[in-house]
Amino acid sequence: MKRPKPALRVELLFYLTFLVAFALLVGVATSQLALAISPERGVVLVVTFVALEVGIFVLYGRSLVTRLVLRPLARVMDTADAVADGDLEARAPDAATRDFATLAERLNRMTDRLLDAQSQLVRSEKLASIGRLAAGVAHEVGNPLGAIGTYVEVLRRRGADPEVMAGLTRELERVDRIVRSLLDYARPQEDPLVPVDPDKIARAAFELLRAQGAFRNVSADTDVGMHVPEVMGRAHVLEQTLVNLLLNAVDATPPGGSIVIGARRWAYEPGQSLPKRASDPGDSRFPRVSERRPARVEFADGQPGTLIFVADSGPGVTPEDREKVFEPFYTTKAPGHGTGLGLAIVARSVHDMGGVVWVDNAREGGAAFKLFFPIAIP
């Protein structure tokens, strides 16, 4: 059990009381010693000894105040100056006393909030700018694409090489899919947010793909906790988001691998590990590096809500790719096997519904995509 840290006033009171008591004892002892050594010069010796003791105690007191007050205060001030200069990665170190430890913790929490606000602002601006660009590109490409499709059909009727026409048709369909994905990314969601049940939506997405045979080569299962709270969202958008994540998991998972989709009540903390699942053994331990997760300025400390996750036993996502995978046109798939817009659309949809999405290592060995939404307030 971790020992609680002492309060600063208690530490100072203890050491100063000890210092005063020790000074009185030493003063009396040296006075008696000086008078015993030389009665005729006793006053001079007493003054000399007292001056020497005062100097020693002043040095000790200075060292005490420096260690307990000035040095921790200087560290906090250095961190505050670094944050004021724009270094939002600076963090105040822990301290030996409870007061300065609390001060450092609150300064770090304030810095985290600033970092969250900055990240959210950058993310919102990026989504808006890319959305406008995507809408413009889709519009400009869509019209000539329709014309090209008409000319391809004319060439087919005129007896053009079937192999060449099949290749043209295939590539046109690919461009059409990209344009449609761009429109999905750029299209604003005008439906109002309403309370939705993450449990039902997760199960519906799972059952939809299972009925289509998407899980025939893998072992897929659900892991939904008890009393999962409702969140504010759009049911059809959230279901489509989970379907996209499940399809990505199927693509990443080798034959015979495993996929899990789940939901549970959760209190959001940007830098803590996920508690065990209901299906995990009671003595299981899942050590992870405590990494900072994306957050929103609207989230309070320990924000109650629901965590939805899709985990697989595939190759996973490297730490350097965990932020990039949600950017448009960034994909880890082989050329021709992905547009790089699927996860970007997921991130856009989750952001528009007031949630956050990130990716961690899965307990199955692959990637775990996690979505958090605050609890719906009636």
Tell me if 114 is assigned to some domain: no
Element (H, E) at 125: helix 98-157
3-state SS class at 195: strand
Tell me if 344 is assigned to some domain: yes
pTM of the model: 0.60
- Give residue 306's Cα distance to chain centre: 15
Residues 66 and 149 in one domain: no
Residues 249 and 362 in one domain: yes
Tell me if 196 is assigned to some domain: yes
Tell me if 112 is assigned to some domain: no
Distance between CA atoms of residues 270 and 22, nearest Å: 49
Residues 258 and 329 in one domain: yes
Residues 173 and 297 in one domain: no
Residues 168 and 201 in one domain: no
Residues 277 and 140 in one domain: no
Residue 347's domain comprises 191-374
Q: Mind giving me the DSSP string for 131-164?
A: HHHHHHHHHHHHHHHHHHHHHHHHHHHTT--HHH
**Which residue is associated with the tokens 């449609």?**
180
Tell me if 109 is assigned to some domain: no
Contact 44, 31 (CB under 8 A): no
pLDDT in tens, the chain (378 residues): 556 777 777 777 777 787 777 777 777 777 676 667 766 666 666 677 677 777 777 787 788 788 878 888 888 888 888 888 877 778 888 887 788 888 888 888 777 777 766 666 666 666 666 666 666 766 677 778 778 888 888 888 888 888 888 888 888 887 777 777 666 666 666 678 899 999 999 999 999 999 888 999 999 999 887 889 999 999 988 998 999 899 989 988 999 999 999 999 988 776 555 555 555 555 444 444 445 566 676 777 778 899 999 999 888 888 888 878 887 766 666 555 556 677 888 888 888 888 888 888 887 778 899 999 999 876
